[in-house]
Structure 1
Amino acid sequence: MEARRDNSGLYLTQTAYIQQLLRKSGMSNAKPIDTPFSLNKPLYADGSPLFHDTTLYRSILGGLQYLVNTRPDISFIVNKLSQFQQNPTVTHWQAVKRVLRYIKGTDTLGISFRPSSQLFVTGFSDADWASSPDDRRSIAGYAVFLGPNLVAWQSKKQAVVSRSSTESEYRAMAQVTAEISWLMSLLTEIHISISAPPTIWCDNMSAAALARNPVYHVRTKHIELDIHYVRDKVRRQFGRLGIHHVPTRDQLADIFTKGFFLASRFQYLRDKLGVRSALRLRGDVRINH
């Protein structure tokens, strides 16, 4: 991992590690591509012949999982491909190679951290309802920012099937609430105070309203634990956790739940996460780890 620092902040990249992955997979001379995921080729558990080298698939995918530490922009597709490690198919391997082509063209990108005079905690949560074609479970994702900087993120298939988009979005909200709870406890332990109560942004109006509504309804009984967990944080902890609606176009967690037809949309969200090129730095100090 490489750390680069200048007056604008700190950049963490893994350029050398990416080159190592490309050599290991025989993709050093591959043609770069703008996005890591193709919507034209849906990924199913079955549907094509088994890939002949399961060990290679798992090894390269393990490398990509490590790369996610500085490249949140590939979290969604890496999580998706991780679901097929037991019996990867040729189609799955082709999807892995597309990710490799993407990181080949973006090997100087990394996560950036900028200084800020005010610290505030902001979370974004999202879910793509019933989007897994094999079991119709939802894909959930979240992003947590400390000031202007992304400090935690996740893309993950939910453990149970949700019966509505509101349910899947609320489960995602519970996940980001738990992450924020952990972060707030850490900040308290090291005696760092934040400027305002934390806020969560959700693009599902029903889920946001459910978090604020003290009236319990029988139709939400099956997600009772998640409901009470989030409401407890809203009412009693953090100095009142704020739950607000955000338009889908501004939902930064969108990048953790789905692929995009438009490369411009993907790149917009990637930039908003603070994934930028370290080559922009001038007079930087570089530290290799």
Structure 2
Amino acid sequence: MVDARPMPAPTMSSLKLDTSGAVFDKPLLYRSVVGGLQYATITRPDIVFTVNKVSQFSHTPLEQHWKVVKPDPVDRKSYTEYYVILGLNLFCWSSKKHVSVSRSSTEAEFRALADAMTNIMWLQKLLFEMYIPLDIAPTLFCDNQSTVLMSRNPIHHNRSKHFEIDLHFVQDRMVQLKARVVHIPSFD
């Protein structure tokens, strides 16, 4: 794995692996790496789907299965990944592949932001029904500066027409002071 290139997201949710093809010549290595990945899912819930998929082929892994374990990108579709933390606890998370290719990283980030915002709205409603008030608006952290700036800017640009609904949705929540979007460096 020394020459493996890390990928930001492991694989698509509609991944279909064949059971025919060249057999991987090191099945013990395959099982060892997949076993290690199973332990990693405890702290990395975004890889659970992929690890589950590749675990199904531990008995007789093929070359294509090993490429997925490394991983090997097949298309340019983005992933929507977000985590909702309530207090100090991870409340829920999501990691899914987009159905279509995003025209920009900002578009992909706005999709994730809108999905996270929807989930947070559901959580707020649930807490309200349980008579648990929230004193402050939720903060959404985003590592894409363009997304953060566009979420604050009410002026729309030609480049935002592909994700205009998500943009309006996020901006509407911010104008109502029901959420705020803050930049966080990717490293953090």
TM-score with structure 1 setting the length = 0.47
Task: Tell me whether 1:144 sits opposite 2:84 in the alignment.
Answer: yes
**Percentage of identical aligned residues:** 35
2: CA distance, partners of 1:90 / 1:74: 25
Task: Tell me whether 1:221 sits opposite 2:164 in the alignment.
Answer: no
Q: Across the two proteins, how many residue pairs are aligned to each other?
A: 163
**Aligned residue type for 1:77:** I
SS of residue in 2 equivalent to 1:135: coil
Task: Tell me whether 1:244 sits opposite 2:176 in the alignment.
Answer: no
SS of residue in 2 equivalent to 1:193: coil
Report the alpha carbon displacement of residue 91 of structure 1 after superposing the two structures with TM: 4.2
Q: CA RMSD in A?
A: 4.0
- Deviation per CA, 1:50-103: give whole Å up to 9, x if none: 489xxxxxxxxxxx9xx99xx553433333356789x9962465589x7xxxxx
**Aligned residue type for 2:184:** V
Mapping of residues 180-191 of structure 1, within 5 Å:
180-191=120-131
2: CA distance, partners of 1:92 / 1:188: 48
Mapping of residues 76-155 of structure 1, within 5 Å:
76-80=46-50, 90-91=62-63, 93-94=65-66, 133-155=73-95
SS of residue in 2 equivalent to 1:151: strand
2: CA distance, partners of 1:95 / 1:203: 28
2: CA distance, partners of 1:132 / 1:184: 38
In structure 2, do the counterparts of structure 1 residues 79 and 132 end up closer, same or farther at CA, with 3 Å as the change threshold?
farther
Report the alpha carbon displacement of residue 142 of structure 1 after superposing the two structures with TM: 0.5
For the Cα contact (< 8 Å) 2:17–2:65, is it kept in 1?
no
SS of residue in 2 equivalent to 1:144: strand
**Aligned residue type for 1:207:** T
1:75 counterpart residue number: 45
1:283 counterpart residue number: none
1: CA distance, partners of 2:119 / 2:52: 22
Task: Tell me whether 1:233 sits opposite 2:150 in the alignment.
Answer: no
For the Cα contact (< 8 Å) 1:45–1:134, is it kept in 2?
no
Aligned residue among 142, 161, 169 for 1:202:
142
**Aligned residue type for 1:75:** P
Unaligned runs of 5+ in 2: 24-34
Unaligned runs of 5+ in 1: 1-37, 53-63, 99-130, 251-289
1: CA distance, partners of 2:105 / 2:141: 16
Mapping of residues 22-37 of structure 1, within 5 Å:
none
For the Cα contact (< 8 Å) 2:151–2:171, is it kept in 1?
yes
Report the alpha carbon displacement of residue 153 of structure 1 after superposing the two structures with TM: 0.8
For the Cα contact (< 8 Å) 2:142–2:148, is it kept in 1?
yes
SS of residue in 2 equivalent to 1:150: strand
In structure 2, do the counterparts of structure 1 residues 51 and 153 end up closer, same or farther at CA, with 3 Å as the change threshold?
farther
**Aligned residue type for 2:134:** I
1:257 counterpart residue number: none
2: CA distance, partners of 1:206 / 1:149: 29
